[in-house]
Structure 1
Amino acid sequence: MSTVLRARELVRILPGEVPTTLVNGIDLSIEAGEFVCIMGPSGSGKSSLLYLLGLLDIPTSGTVELDGIDTRGFSDDQLTATRLAKLGFVFQFHFLLAEFTVLDNVLLPMRRLGKLSDAAAQARGMQLLDRLGVAEHAHKLPSQLSGGQRQRIAIARALANDPLVLLADEPTGNLDTVSSANVRQILHDLTREMGKSVVAVTHDPRFAALADRRINVVDGRLDPDWQPV
């Protein structure tokens, strides 16, 4: 396997009268096709680490390498373009645009990237919705769907531009038991069937049990000995 995402001596400190260290010297590699879960106590720095890996936040020191490219010193425009082309994101809340249909929500990243014709983008969008079992809802509004269905659509949107890595922050945290199980299995299957690398923050041991590897973050550092209560 090849390394698609690597953190080197990653540090994130929030400035202030009393500076807060969110991430403290983390080294981490994610391999192609690997499913990794990040766990740890509340407030331990899990989401902060994920946001750094996803180029949504800028480290105080250290660097993130994506697809072998060191992103240190990237401009805001370069970071935005890199996220759009190479990363997909799924959050606890789906953040679908209420006024757009399901299909149009999935088409948004492809239209922004501009690599596909509209016909090709629509075909890919329908393919992804079909893969995630929600194709029959393509022309509905998000408000007409259940929470679990909306999260599947958010996953389809995250996959729209065929990212190298999909990053998920508590993707089952706002779902019922059945929907949570479905989303857990979908994210696991992405690594097996589509060869995607998936990095997910979770509090759910059942989710982490599906992962190839579990990473524990405690007080901003990696802690191999921590166990969920």
Structure 2
Amino acid sequence: MNVADAGETPVIELRGVTRILQETVPVTLVHDIDLIIQRGEFVSVTGPSGSGKSSLLYLLGLLDLPTRGQVLIDGVDTSGYSSDRLADVRLAKLGFVFQFHFLLPEFTVLQNVTLPMIRLGRLDEKAIRERGMALLRDFEIDDQARKRPDQLSGGQRQRVAVARALANDPAVILADEPTGNLDTRNSEIVQGIFADLAAAQGRTVIAVTHDQDFASSAPRNVHLIDGRIDSDVRR
């Protein structure tokens, strides 16, 4: 496992994070969580349905905000950030992969992958296209570049989603049930991709999953029950 030294600044840290959904009867989604994630870690997040797995992932990815507590990215507390600043951090430092891909059907595969780069605005048009094609080649789907998502298999669409997540070279990839809609063979392919992102590329990978094979492939497992960390095991 390619993990940073303990003395280095964690890539993501939660300090006393609680998220309460304010409904007629308030619902606590996660409760008083302390969690440190270092660079290069591959972490699976498991637990029964309703245990707070996705809620935790959304907090780690700044897609949701804590009711109490702090979320630090590269040692910087994001409390009080505006919605625009949070969006900028997500775009530059975090990549997301979801169970249902969320590829835009009106765009080609290549256009889907290049959208985050266009939004970030750091590269010119030629460099964006070249990087997009390079990412597709990495996942052996460059021959699908001009197709639209509905012309691809489920496994191909998920590889496109991973390529898109890597578009802006983020330090952290967050995935919510990335193999949930895939058959065994494609699940194994995606599992291998995530393992390689951490072990070979030194990226941090945090994946919520019900897939026990996928979970066991991660060197670290965080298990939730009722919105609390029940165990945090490094293998």
State the shift of 1:17 in Å.
Answer: 2.1
State the shift of 1:225 in Å.
Answer: 8.4
Spell out structure 1 runs of 4+ moving beyond 3 A. none
Say if 2:205 is the partner of 1:198. Answer: yes
- 1:6-45 matches, within 5 Å, as 6-45=13-52
Task: Note the residue ranges of structure 1 that are not aligned, 5 or more in a row.
Answer: none
What percent identity do the matched residue pairs reach?
A: 61
CA distance in 2, matches of 1:98, 1:8: 39
Equivalent position to 2:59, from 49, 52, 55? 52
TM-score of the pair, normalised by structure 2: 0.94
Equivalent position to 1:188, from 192, 195, 210? 195
What is aligned with 2:170?
A: 163
CA distance in 1, matches of 2:73, 2:127: 27
CA distance in 1, matches of 2:171, 2:14: 16
Aligned residues: 226
State the shift of 1:165 in Å.
Answer: 0.5
Say if 2:154 is the partner of 1:147. Answer: yes
CA distance in 1, matches of 2:232, 2:155: 33
CA distance in 2, matches of 1:4, 1:162: 14
Tell me if the contact between 2:220 and 2:232 (Cα under 8 Å) persists in the aligned partners.
Answer: no
CA distance in 1, matches of 2:217, 2:71: 26
Task: Note the residue ranges of structure 2 that are not aligned, 5 or more in a row.
Answer: none
State the shift of 1:139 in Å.
Answer: 1.0
CA distance in 1, matches of 2:207, 2:59: 13
What is aligned with 2:99?
A: 92
Equivalent position to 1:117, from 124, 127, 138? 124
Could you give the per-residue CA deviations for residues 82-106 of structure 1, whole angstroms, max 9, x where no partner exists? 1001000000000111111100000
TM-score of the pair, normalised by structure 1: 0.97
Could you give the per-residue CA deviations for residues 193-227 of structure 1, whole angstroms, max 9, x where no partner exists? 2111000000111011111200001000000189x
Say if 2:137 is the partner of 1:130. Answer: yes
DSSP-derived class of the 2:155 partner = helix
Could you give the per-residue CA deviations for residues 154-202 of structure 1, whole angstroms, max 9, x where no partner exists? 0000000011100000000011111111111111111122111000000
DSSP-derived class of the 1:38 partner = strand
CA distance in 2, matches of 1:149, 1:74: 36
